[in-house]
Amino acid sequence: MINQTMEQLGKAPSKIREIFAYGCRRRKEIGEDKVFDFSLGNPNVPAPKEVNETYKALIDSSSDVYLHGYTAGVGDDSTRAAIADNLNKRFGTSFQAGDLYMTCGAAASLKITITALCCSGDEIVTFAPFFPEYRVFTETAGAKLVVSMTDPDTFQIDFDNLAAAVTEKTKALIVNSPNNPSGVVIREEGIEKLAQFLEEREKEYGHPIYLITDEPYRELVYDSDVSVPFVTKYYRNAIVCYSFSKSLSLPGERIGYILVPEEVEDSRDVFAAVCGAGRALGYVCAPSMTQHVIERTCGLVSDLGVYRTNRDLLYNALTEYGFTCVHPDGAFYLFMKSPEPDASAFCEKAKAFELLLVPADSFGTPGYVRIAYCVTTEQIRNSLPAFKKLAGVYHL
Amino acid sequence: MINQTMEQLGKAPSKIREIFAYGCRRRKEIGEDKVFDFSLGNPNVPAPKEVNETYKALIDSSSDVYLHGYTAGVGDDSTRAAIADNLNKRFGTSFQAGDLYMTCGAAASLKITITALCCSGDEIVTFAPFFPEYRVFTETAGAKLVVSMTDPDTFQIDFDNLAAAVTEKTKALIVNSPNNPSGVVIREEGIEKLAQFLEEREKEYGHPIYLITDEPYRELVYDSDVSVPFVTKYYRNAIVCYSFSKSLSLPGERIGYILVPEEVEDSRDVFAAVCGAGRALGYVCAPSMTQHVIERTCGLVSDLGVYRTNRDLLYNALTEYGFTCVHPDGAFYLFMKSPEPDASAFCEKAKAFELLLVPADSFGTPGYVRIAYCVTTEQIRNSLPAFKKLAGVYHL
């Protein structure tokens, strides 16, 4: 008998990937521009031009051993120093290269951190809506995921729910802001209150509660009055899981990092456990050439103008048609209330208009759908009549 | 309390990496060409020139979504088809794209396969000498590694030892040929006998015993009379774990695959478990641009001439000086008997001559050292007087 947990995980692939696969088939049937696929968080905006230029320049000017050889398991020293410098400049922090562990993207960052921290029977708390793989990563590490519902109107933290969710068994809390799938940013007062709450519970229980911040969308905010608080400045035991997938539009290249600040309790032990977990999970090093590119481009961000345009176009049109949407501060997802209680049934009806939306049940919020607007603005424009017809089905 | 297993794994980094780090420091102290570092399997031979040309051509001609976007979790379809075609052409097999799962290199291939197959309490058998991370990957998957010693003269399979090692609890056997660290290739009669033995045990126990072939060195053989049998042709329940790290000199890029042939018992369930394990371990997809490069270059191999020259130069000199070495058929390691029982003590004495060798204790073969000759031929030539002096210490 092979491992049944793994077999079942493999046979129940993510709903998102299923819809995306349907979209690929459907495009072949009726044509590329006839299908309005909003399923996948695959950035449509290209990487900053410097990224591809740097790849080419490095290929032309470097030895293959430097370019394609192993780096240390923790990552290339110069890359880690460049990232630390960039963070310090932007956030007034004082991180060192040695606080950073380079990873194969956000999923690896999270899985490694969870594996490093958790013992069997531990609990990890997160806020709904949440990225479904949190459950997979946590449960296959022998721990339990405890979900705390956010405020149903604002999707900000509901501290009464949180107070009930955090117990002596809580090893860590995962926070994802800007949020996938709601687009909501937890404001400074929320982070301050969260830090205070966790510190009180740490004192009460006599052990640290780590705050894992899953931040692939940190750079993706669109309004001058919205900023993403840098969590390590508010809470001592914060561990940052970052990915360049979205900020540099490199999701397939699998590149990110884990930041374990010095202030974290037993910081060097935690960092060692991160190294050990990376090793145990089969991560030898993050892709080398891309690490060297990141050293030179980690201060850049893809053109956010397209996302802002898309967000405004879509949010304004859908609310005008009568849909109820959460106003997204960041990320590239619009979170919409399903006009009928069963979001899957709603998504099936949307399919009839070639609109591919993702029901948010697996994100812990039934009755909502996620619309990934990291697509061409043209696709958004062309899809609007279909959304209008869909609204008509529900007499909105 | 954070996870103690992970913390300990992180604090006990591989002996090889420690020696390599010493070499880096030492080179800064006394000069690049004064240190003879034979510690790391980091290929010195560049990638075939087509590899870097393909990277650049793809950057110039492809959209960023194709180049840097997510591929399917199993990998890009065209890449998988190209690899299947290449294998079929070379080995007369009939694999399909759907039999292949793209990975972030050999370590990921192995970790994913072990996680997919093993339940708690299962045993995995391997032959000594073996790559030390087998133990890490197996034990952190809740299974036990059982080591079967090979013939001490030839390092071919000792079937008496194997008969004692394989029991009803054996879920799989890992074979690594050409072998790291011995360089030995298991000959066709060995593979045939192994297949027959495993089939008998499968019948006796009434369940499959998977043969995991760890093959990063498959292409690295140097003599016309030595060929590496393609294991799936000899045994039904064989699963291939491959990496392009050595064949294309791309170890840092993290690219490889798992091949689950159709003939494997419950092949589609095993493949699903591989997908599930990849997901649970945080692998979203193998690096995308490198997947696209592999589609176009998977038939190539780096220049093996340098390795052959290095092997002959080193083997001939060291045996002439009186050392006892295993003649390496392939890979790029020379396996040498330590002239004193304690190989670590011998390696310390070698250090006095700036020779950085790896004691093979962690490979399950105390009393031996590994010499990685994937270095410049110049380094080999320059190191010979030091080896001669080292032999003198032992009056060889």
pLDDT per residue over B281-326, tens digit each? 999 999 999 999 999 999 999 998 999 999 999 999 999 999 999 9
Longest dimension (CA), chain A: 64
CA distances from B41 to A183, A290, B375 (A): 45, 21, 9
Q: What residues contact B57, with CB distance under 8 A and at least 6 apart? A: none
Q: Which of B9, B71, B133 sits opposite A252 (nearest CB)?
A: B71
Verify whether the Cβ–Cβ distance A287 to B140 is below 8 Å: no
Q: Which of A10, A71, A137 sits opposite B252 (nearest CB)?
A: A71
Distance of alpha carbon A40 from alpha carbon A98, whole angstroms: 34
CA A10 to chain centre: 21
Verify whether the Cβ–Cβ distance B65 to A42 is below 8 Å: yes
What's the pLDDT at A13?
Answer: 65
Which structure tokens are listed for B275?
């997908």
Pick the residue from chain A with its C-alpha nearest to B76: A252
- In the stretch 118-147 of chain B, residues with CB closer than 8 A to chain A read 118-119, 133, 136-137, 140
Verify whether the Cβ–Cβ distance A7 to B269 is below 8 Å: yes
Which of A214, A249, A270, A281 should we substitute to test contact with B (largest number of B Cβ atoms within 10 Å)?
A281
- In the stretch 343-372 of chain B, residues with CB closer than 8 A to chain A read none
Cβ neighbours of A109 in B, within 8 Å: 282
Verify whether the Cβ–Cβ distance A290 to B287 is below 8 Å: yes
- In the stretch 263-282 of chain A, residues with CB closer than 8 A to chain B read 266, 269-277, 279-282
The amino acid that residue B270 corresponds to is V
- Read off the pLDDT of residues B258-269 as tens digits, 9 standing for 90 and up: 999 999 999 999
Helix (H) or strand (E) holding B106: helix B105-117
Distance of alpha carbon A380 from alpha carbon A335, whole angstroms: 15
Verify whether the Cβ–Cβ distance A68 to B251 is below 8 Å: yes
Which of A5, A24, A52, A68 should we substitute to test contact with B (largest number of B Cβ atoms within 10 Å)?
A68
Decide if B390 contacts B355 (C-beta within 8 A): yes
Kindly indicate the confidence band of residue B40, based on its pLDDT and cuts at 50, 70 and 90. Answer: confident
Pick the residue from chain B with its C-alpha nearest to A69: B252
* Mean pLDDT in residue range B138-146: 97
Cβ neighbours of A57 in B, within 8 Å: none
* Mean pLDDT in residue range B12-29: 86
* Mean pLDDT in residue range B7-36: 89
- Read off the pLDDT of residues B361-376 as tens digits, 9 standing for 90 and up: 999 999 999 999 999 9
DSSP 8-class letter at A94? -
For residue A333, the cross-strand partners are A372
Residue B364: CB atoms within 10 Å: 22
Helix (H) or strand (E) holding A215: none
Q: Could you say which residues of chain A have pLDDT below 70?
A: 13
Q: Which of A156, A206, A210 is nearest to A179 (CA)?
A: A156
- Read off the pLDDT of residues B48-89 as tens digits, 9 standing for 90 and up: 999 999 999 999 999 999 999 999 999 999 999 999 999 999
Q: Which of B136, B74, B124 is nearest to B276 (CA)?
A: B74
Verify whether the Cβ–Cβ distance B273 to A115 is below 8 Å: no
Residue B20: pLDDT above 90? no
Decide if B38 contacts B371 (C-beta within 8 A): yes
Q: Is B174 helix (H, G, I), strand (E, B) or coil?
A: strand
Verify whether the Cβ–Cβ distance A273 to B10 is below 8 Å: yes
Cβ neighbours of A67 in B, within 8 Å: 52, 252
CA A104 to chain centre: 14
Q: What residues contact B321, with CB distance under 8 A and at least 6 apart? A: B387, B388, B391, B396
Q: Which of B64, B115, B251 sits opposite A6 (nearest CB)?
A: B115
Distance of alpha carbon B187 from alpha carbon A123, whole angstroms: 51
CA distances from B22 to A100, A159, B35, B349, B387 (A): 21, 51, 10, 15, 19
Decide if A70 contacts B40 (C-beta within 8 A): yes
- Cα-Cα end-to-end distance for chain B: 52
Q: How far is A212 from chain B (nearest CA, A)?
A: 14
Upstream peptide bond of A178 is cis (omega within 30 degrees of 0): yes
The predicted model scores a pTM of 0.96
Verify whether the Cβ–Cβ distance B279 to A9 is below 8 Å: yes
What sections of B260-303 are H helices per DSSP?
267-280, 288-297
Half-sphere exposure of A201 (CA within 13 A, CB side): 25
Q: Which of B59, B69, B270 sits opposite A252 (nearest CB)?
A: B69
What's the pLDDT at A4?
Answer: 97
Residue A60: CB atoms within 10 Å: 9
Residue linked to tokens 């607007």: A373
Write the DSSP assignment of B200-224 as a string of letters.
Answer: HHHHHHTS--EEEEE-TTTT-B--T
Q: Which of B10, B46, B274 sits opposite A275 (nearest CB)?
A: B10
Residue linked to tokens 């933290």: A157
Verify whether the Cβ–Cβ distance A289 to B252 is below 8 Å: yes
- Read off the pLDDT of residues A126-184 as tens digits, 9 standing for 90 and up: 999 999 999 999 999 999 999 999 998 899 999 999 999 999 999 999 999 999 999 99
Cβ contacts of B11-17, under 8 Å, gap ≥ 24: B11/A272, B11/A276, B13/A73, B13/A275, B13/A279, B14/B132, B14/B133, B14/B362, B15/B132, B15/B358, B15/B359, B15/B361, B15/B362, B16/B40, B16/B358, B17/A72, B17/A73
Q: Which of A331, A307, A123 is nearest to A214 (CA)?
A: A331
Residue linked to tokens 């879920």: B171
Q: How far is B100 from chain A (nearest CA, A)?
A: 14
Decide if A15 contacts A362 (C-beta within 8 A): yes
A73 touches chain B (CB under 8 A): yes
Verify whether the Cβ–Cβ distance B59 to A56 is below 8 Å: yes
Q: Which of A393, A389, A383 is nearest to A37 (CA)?
A: A383
Distance of alpha carbon A61 from alpha carbon A48, whole angstroms: 21
What's the pLDDT at B44?
Answer: 86
A11 touches chain B (CB under 8 A): yes
- Cα-Cα end-to-end distance for chain A: 52
The amino acid that residue B127 corresponds to is F
Q: What residues contact B98, with CB distance under 8 A and at least 6 apart? A: B80, B271
Pick the residue from chain A with its C-alpha nearest to B21: A72
Verify whether the Cβ–Cβ distance B137 to A280 is below 8 Å: yes
Verify whether the Cβ–Cβ distance A253 to B136 is below 8 Å: no
Q: Which of A73, A112, A276 sits opposite B7 (nearest CB)?
A: A276
A61 touches chain B (CB under 8 A): no
ipTM associated with this complex: 0.96
Distance of alpha carbon A37 from alpha carbon A375, whole angstroms: 8
Helix (H) or strand (E) holding A370: strand A368-372
Cβ neighbours of B28 in A, within 8 Å: none
* Residue A234 φ/ψ, nearest 5 degrees: -110, -25
Q: Which of B324, B335, B331, B328 is nearest to B312 (CA)?
A: B328
B3 touches chain A (CB under 8 A): yes
Pair type for strands B358-359 and B100-103? unpaired
Q: How far is A57 from chain B (nearest CA, A)?
A: 9
Which structure tokens are listed for A315?
């949010």
For residue A225, the cross-strand partners are none
What's the pLDDT at A337?
Answer: 97
- In the stretch 82-121 of chain A, residues with CB closer than 8 A to chain B read 104-105, 107-112, 115-119
Pick the residue from chain A with its C-alpha nearest to B52: A59
- The order of strands in the sheet holding B325-326 is B325-326, B333-337, B368-372, B358-359
Q: Is A337 helix (H, G, I), strand (E, B) or coil?
A: strand
Cβ neighbours of A269 in B, within 8 Å: 2, 7
Q: What residues contact A364, with CB distance under 8 A and at least 6 apart? A: A128, A129, A130, A147, A149
